[in-house]
Amino acid sequence: MVQYFLSFKLIFKNNKGFNFIMNVVKVLMPVLPNRWIPDKWVEKSYVDSGMQFGDDVSYIYMGECVGFENNLNKWANQEKEYAARGYRTISLDEFTKAGGYGEPIDHLIGIKRNPGEAPVLHAEIYRKIYLHQIQPAINLPKLMQGGVQSGTYISPSTEIIPKNESTEQPPLKE
């Protein structure tokens, strides 16, 4: 049934109709059987949620923003479905560059994993290593009173894992 919605994209000359349908599908995704949702829609939802979380992480020096963990959960759910369909996932580093700083990632989207290649769940790596672990590098109340502040902070990476951390991940349901 949902497959027929793809034909609506051709009907709408502008993207407003397609975007409306995408929003309806995003609401229905948790209740629809996964086989009904086309790969392109899963891909778009995965990239959108990853870029949103990447934007959130680009401001991590100020602390975790409102909705930070909710955005991580959205990205994690979409990433699991994207990986379960056989695609290579995109690192947090790339999503931070794209969502936070506008760098293109089109060349990383829609790439199938090689046979036998294990999926990498970057959102779960972030959750395990960094969630609630990064302290703000600036004191916002003092900054609001005037003056300049500087500091150092860690930029989270799911490409470079600290040596003392394991990257063991739970198996995917395929």
pLDDT digits (tens, 9 = 90+) for 125-139: 999 999 999 888 888
pLDDT tens across 160-170, in order?
Answer: 765 555 555 44
Least confident piece of the model among 9-13, 39-43, 103-107, 156-160: 9-13
Query: Which residues share a beta bridge with 87?
Result: 112
Domain ranges of the chain: 1-37, 45-164
Q: What mean pLDDT do residues 12-22 have? A: 63
pLDDT tens across 61-82, in order?
Answer: 888 999 999 999 999 999 999 9
pTM of the entire structure? 0.73
Would you state the pLDDT for residue 37? 82
Q: Which residues of 92-113 are buried (b: 16+ CB within 10 A; e: fewer)?
A: bbbbbbbbbeeeebeeebeeee
Q: How many helices (H) and strands (E) does the chain have?
A: 8, 0
Least confident piece of the model among 104-108, 129-133, 134-138, 148-152: 148-152
Q: Is the Cβ–Cβ distance between 37 and 25 less than 8 Å? A: yes
Cβ neighbour number for residue 164 with a 10 Å cutoff: 6
